[in-house]
Amino acid sequence: MRDNHSAAEKIKEISGTNPLKCMKCGKCSATCPSFDEMDIRPHQFVSYVISENIEALVNSASLWKCLSCFACVERCPRDVKPGKIIDGARQLVVREKGGDYLSPNEIPELLDPELPQQLLVSAFRRYRR
């Protein structure tokens, strides 16, 4: 059984955001390219974390519909970063399933030489926190 308070704190920790700064202007949702496919819209996602309604979040389609384009992050006048909050919830689910951390020896020896190094750096930053 998930502790909703701890889970909400974990999402905030992973995302490095403060949902309480949200003023519910809706600009994040208005700019989201996945808006029509989301059952919990970006601005609502922020409110759900505040109210610690974590079960609804982790079972929402939105978790997997977010493109991580971060248009909402750019648009938010309060620096709330809703896209990072959604990503934080996604990471919470991934970690609960055991897909936790990425270690260097998991990187295959024969990497595609065309693979951008930025991708690896990004993966480490995402999975090492």
60 binds ligand SF4 (CB under 6 A): no
14 binds ligand SF4 (CB under 6 A): no
- Applying CB under 6 A, the span of 4-12, 26-34, 94-102, 104-112 interacting with ligand SF4 comes to 26-34
17 binds ligand SF4 (CB under 6 A): no
- Applying CB under 6 A, the span of 19-27, 53-61, 98-106, 107-115 interacting with ligand SF4 comes to 19-27
69 binds ligand SF4 (CB under 6 A): yes
- Residue 79 or 114 having the CB closest to ligand SF4: 79
Half-sphere exposure of 22 (CA within 13 A, CB side): 26
Is the separation of the CB atoms in 43 and 30 below 8 Å? no
66 binds ligand SF4 (CB under 6 A): yes
Structure tokens at 25: 């202007």
CA–CA distance, 114 with 85 (Å, rounded to integer): 31
Residue among 55, 42, 40, 34 nearest 15 (CA): 42
Question: What end-to-end distance do the CA atoms of the chain give, in Å?
Answer: 23
Is the separation of the CB atoms in 54 and 2 below 8 Å? yes
State the minimum distance, in angstroms, from the CB of residue 123 to ligand SF4.
18
Residues that bind ligand SF4 (CB under 6 A): 22-28, 31-34, 42-43, 46, 66-72, 75-78, 80, 82-83, 86
